[in-house]
Chain A
Amino acid sequence: MVDVADTPAVAVAADSAWRVRLGRFRELGVSIFSNPTTVAGLILIVLMLSIAAFAPLITEPNTPDPYQMPRDWSAISVPPGSPGHPLGTTNVGGDVFYGIVWGARTSLRLSVIVVSITVVVGVTIGSIAGFRGGRVDEVLMRIVDVFLSIPELIFALAIAAVLGPSFRNIVLALAVVFWVKYARIMRAQVIHVKENEYVDAARVIGDSKLRIYFKDVLPNSITPVITQATLDMGNIVLVGATLAFIGLAEAGLAEWGILVSEGQAGISAGRWWASTFPGLMVFLWALAFNLFGDGLRDVLDPRTETSR
Chain B
Amino acid sequence: MTRNGLRKGHARRGWSIIVLLLVFTLVAAACSDDDEPSETTASTAAGSTETTTTAASGAEVSNPGVLVHAADDEPTSLDPAQVEAGEGGETVIFQVYERLLEIGESGPDPVPSLATEVPTLENALISADSLTYTFPIREGVVFHDGTPLTADDVKYSWDRVMTMDLPEGQAGTLSDTIAATRVVDDFTFEVTLQGVNASFLNAVVPSMVSSIVSQDAVEANGGVVAGEPNEFMTTDMVGTGAYKFNVWNRNENLQMEINQDYWGTPANLDLRIEIGSDPDIRVLGLRAGDFDTIETDPSFIGDIEGAEGVTISSEGLTVEPIHIAFNMNAPVDELPGTDTIPADFFLDPKVRQAFNYAFDYEAFLAGALGGFGDFNPHYIPIGIFGYDPSAPVYGQQDVARAEELFRETGWWDEGFSVSVITEEANLFEIAALVLKDSLETLNPNFEVNVLAVAEAQFDEAHASDPVPYAMWVKNADPFADPHPYLSSYAHPDGEWGEIHGFRQAYQDPDQVAALIDAGSVELDVTRRAEIYAEVQALLFDDPMWLIAAQEGSVVAYRSWVQGFTNNPLWPRPSLKFALMDKG
Residues on A lying within 8 angstroms of B by beta carbon are 63-64, 71, 73-74, 76, 91-93, 161, 164-165, 247, 250-252, 265-271
> How far is it, in angstroms, between the C-alpha of A92 and the C-alpha of B283 when the chains are bound?
20
> How far is it, in angstroms, between the C-alpha of A161 and the C-alpha of B454 when the chains are bound?
8
Is the beta-carbon distance between B430 and A92 smaller than 8 angstroms? yes
Is the beta-carbon distance between B454 and A64 smaller than 8 angstroms? no
Is the beta-carbon distance between B454 and A250 smaller than 8 angstroms? no
**Chain A neighbourhood of B46, CB < 8 A:** 266, 269-271
Is the beta-carbon distance between A252 and B450 smaller than 8 angstroms? yes
Q: Which residue of A lies closest to B445 (CB)?
A: A64
Q: How far is the CB of B74 from chain A (nearest CB, A)?
A: 19
Q: Which 7 A-B pairs have the closest CB atoms?
A: A270-B46, A73-B363, A251-B452, A270-B45, A269-B303, A268-B280, A251-B450
Q: Which residue of B lies closest to A262 (CB)?
A: B425
A73-B367, A74-B366, A251-B450 known; A267 and B280 CB under 8 Å?
yes
Q: Which residue of A lies closest to B425 (CB)?
A: A247
A165-B424, A247-B425 known; A74 and B454 CB under 8 Å?
no
Q: Which residue of A lies closest to B434 (CB)?
A: A73
Is the beta-carbon distance between B450 and A268 smaller than 8 angstroms? no
**Chain A neighbourhood of B42, CB < 8 A:** 268
Q: Which residue of A lies closest to B365 (CB)?
A: A73
Given contact pairs A92-B433, A269-B302, enumerate 14 new A-B contacts (beta carbons under 8 Å): A73-B360, A73-B367, A76-B366, A91-B299, A161-B454, A164-B454, A165-B424, A165-B452, A251-B450, A251-B451, A252-B433, A265-B280, A266-B280, A268-B44
Is the beta-carbon distance between A63 and B440 smaller than 8 angstroms? yes
Is the beta-carbon distance between A265 and B278 smaller than 8 angstroms? yes
Residues on B lying within 8 angstroms of A by beta carbon are 42, 44-48, 278-281, 283-284, 299-300, 302-303, 360, 362-364, 366-368, 422, 424-425, 429-430, 432-434, 436-437, 440, 444, 447, 450-454, 457
Q: How far is the CB of A74 from chain B (nearest CB, A)?
A: 7
Q: Which residue of A lies closest to B457 (CB)?
A: A164
Is the beta-carbon distance between A71 and B444 smaller than 8 angstroms? no
Is the beta-carbon distance between B424 and A268 smaller than 8 angstroms? no
Instruction: Please list 20 pairs of residues, one from A and one from B, whose beta carbons are closer than 8 Å in the complex, sorted by A's number.
Output: A64-B447, A73-B362, A73-B363, A73-B434, A92-B367, A165-B424, A250-B450, A251-B424, A251-B450, A265-B279, A266-B280, A267-B280, A268-B283, A268-B284, A269-B46, A269-B280, A269-B283, A270-B44, A270-B45, A270-B47
A252-B433, A270-B47 known; A164 and B444 CB under 8 Å?
no
Q: How far is the CB of A85 from chain B (nearest CB, A)?
A: 15
Q: How far is the CB of A217 from chain B (nearest CB, A)?
A: 42
**Chain B neighbourhood of A91, CB < 8 A:** 299
**Chain B neighbourhood of A76, CB < 8 A:** 366-367
Q: Which residue of A lies closest to B437 (CB)?
A: A71
Q: Which residue of A lies closest to B297 (CB)?
A: A265
Interface centre among B283, B433, B451, B454 (most CB of A within 10 A): B433
**Chain B neighbourhood of A265, CB < 8 A:** 278-280
**Chain B neighbourhood of A247, CB < 8 A:** 424-425
Q: How far is the CB of A290 from chain B (nearest CB, A)?
A: 24
Which residue of B44, B366, B454 is within 8 Å of A73 (Cβ)?
A: B366
Q: Which residue of B lies closest to A79 (CB)?
A: B46
A247-B424, A251-B450, A270-B45 known; A64 and B440 CB under 8 Å?
yes
Is the beta-carbon distance between B437 and A269 smaller than 8 angstroms? no
> How far is it, in angstroms, between the C-alpha of A271 and the C-alpha of B363 when the chains are bound?
21
Which residue of B281, B362, B444, B453 is within 8 Å of A268 (Cβ)?
A: B281
Q: How far is the CB of A67 from chain B (nearest CB, A)?
A: 12
Q: Which residue of A lies closest to B441 (CB)?
A: A63
